[in-house]
Amino acid sequence: MADIRSTLDIIMERTKNMTMSDEERAEFQRQTLTGKIKGWVQKYLDGVIGVKEIKSEIDSESSKALSEIEKILKNELVGRLDPDSDNEKIFQLLKEVLHMNIDPLEQVIGKFYEDVIIEKARKIRSLRQALEERHISGSAVVPNVDQDASWQTLYEKSIGECKKQLSIIADRETIDAR
């Protein structure tokens, strides 16, 4: 234990004249705030807290950090939008806390679903035709699209493009939190 204390004393002695620059301090505060906001969002998505509690948390923060909080919250929520999942809770926060128009975001996800359904049907027909060419057919033969590598590649590419579009649209949307 004496060795540990001695080591700590040495560290404290060597760093006592060191200070953080204003830029380092601002970056540290931004990272701390980002961590808090990520925590709020995760708790909300887990059902531990509600919209009211998030609004309360935002109100309890410094008013000069409000625009930074809104920006970080918006980026966090948009980053969590997943065209392959249920986004209702995220949309609710965007709408009720940041007062954003979520219609364009919902339209992009709706178009993603439409495109995926069309492409999946095409791929099933293509796989079924390939099986028929190998003389495999019948009512019990059901092509498994999810096991097809080309489908997986196309699907992942579609998700990536959708997320990119969501991000672009969200960047254009203004925040009207107050």
pLDDT by residue (tens digit) across 108-148? Answer: 999 999 999 999 999 999 999 988 899 888 888 888 898 88
Domain span at residue 104 reads 17-172
What mean pLDDT do residues 144-170 have?
A: 92
Task: Look at residue 5 and tell me if it is in a domain.
Answer: no
CA distance 34 to 61: 13
Let me know: does 158 contact 116? Beta carbons within 8 Å. Answer: yes
Residues 6+ apart with CB under 8 A from 159: 82, 83, 84, 112
What mean pLDDT do residues 157-168 have?
A: 93
3-state secondary structure 28-75: HHHHHHHHHHHHHHHHHHCCCCCHHHHHHHHHHCCHHHHHHHHHHHHH
Task: Look at residue 8 and tell me if it is in a domain.
Answer: no
Task: Look at residue 11 and tell me if it is in a domain.
Answer: no
pLDDT greater than 50 at residue 44: yes
Tens digit of each residue's pLDDT (9 = 90 or more) over 55-73: 998 888 877 778 889 999 9
pLDDT of residue 9: 76
Task: Look at residue 7 and tell me if it is in a domain.
Answer: no
Instruction: Give 85's DSSP letter.
Output: S
pLDDT of residue 178: 45
**How many domains does the structure of the chain reveal?**
1
Let me know: does 77 contact 91? Beta carbons within 8 Å. Answer: no
Residues 6+ apart with CB under 8 A from 174: 100
pLDDT greater than 90 at residue 11: no
What mean pLDDT do residues 161-174 have?
A: 88
What mean pLDDT do residues 91-117 have?
A: 93
Angle subtended by helix axes 51-60 and 88-96, to nearest 10: 40
Task: Look at residue 75 and tell me if it is in a domain.
Answer: yes
pLDDT of residue 13: 74
174 or 31, which is more confident: 31
Which of 112, 133, 130 minimizes the C-alpha distance to 122? 130
pLDDT of residue 61: 82
